[in-house]
Amino acid sequence: AQTVTQSQPEMSVQEAETVTLSCTYDTSESDYYLFWYKQPPSRQMILVIRQEAYKQQNATENRFSVNFQKAAKSFSLKISDSQLGDAAMYFCAYRSDSWKSSGDKLTFGTGTRLAVRP
Amino acid sequence: ETGVTQTPRHLVMGMTNKKSLKCEQHLGHNAMYWYKQSAKKPLELMFVYSLEERVENNSVPSRFSPECPNSSHLFLHLHTLQPEDSALYLCASSLRTGPAYEQYFGPGTRLTVT
């Protein structure tokens, strides 16, 4: 079974600075997707960024980028030029590309709470 | 707000009560999901519906009973719950099932079982 580990329960960053959130995962599969989700205090979870495992190039979405290290099974999220609105819980998630192994299941980590200091 | 709404936003119920959670999506999606989010635990997938047919039941106790009357609506019927069932229940939808399709989440229902 796949597992996702976020070892940082809480992080803090100064506004305009850069912060990196860590995520590691365990899988025996070669084809899968990785995601970072953001859950602000209002509780509506939104997708921040997605990475397909077959792509070597790291995904980027504006100020958000990932460092995907497939061999190390690491998938960290970097937030540049942090803004107050970035304060939220961030969840790393894994999804198999194989229906047989896990159906339609997203496996989540326990989350990292990010605080942004003004 | 995304196109996924959930009602009620907060619910307090006794262990002998029967209540229902409602989810509605306005995105034209064909797949809908129920997740349970407990404090300091990963989100847990409970049920998946595709085109109104349940395609996954992730070993959820029978005191949780889902219903999907059409592709826009999803319910979670609750009865004889336990205090450990207190959690945030999130609904999500996607165009189709499968990893290539982004899931859009609702704001959740905060359930407290007394």
Which residue in the set A43, A50, A111 is minimally distant from B107, CB to CB? A43
Which residue of A24, A45, A52, A54 to mutate against B (max B Cβ within 10 Å)? A45
Cβ-contact A38, A88 below 8 angstroms: yes
Mean pLDDT by 10 residues, chain A (118 residues): 92 97 94 94 88 93 96 97 96 81 76 96
**Chain B residue with minimum CA distance to A4:** B42
Residue A105: the pLDDT is 77
Closest residue in A to B58 (Cα) is A105
Q: How far is B101 from chain A (nearest CA, A)?
A: 10
pLDDT at A56: 87
CB B114 within 8 A of CB B83: yes
pLDDT for position B38: 92
Among B41, B43, B55, beta carbon nearest to A104: B55
Evaluate whether B47 touches B54 at the Cβ level (below 8 Å): yes
Subunit contact A44:B97, Cβ cutoff 8 A: no
The Cα–Cα gap between A92 and A76 comes to 9
For the segment B86-95, the average pLDDT, to the nearest whole number, is: 95
Tell me the average pLDDT across B35-54: 87
Three-state DSSP state, B101: coil
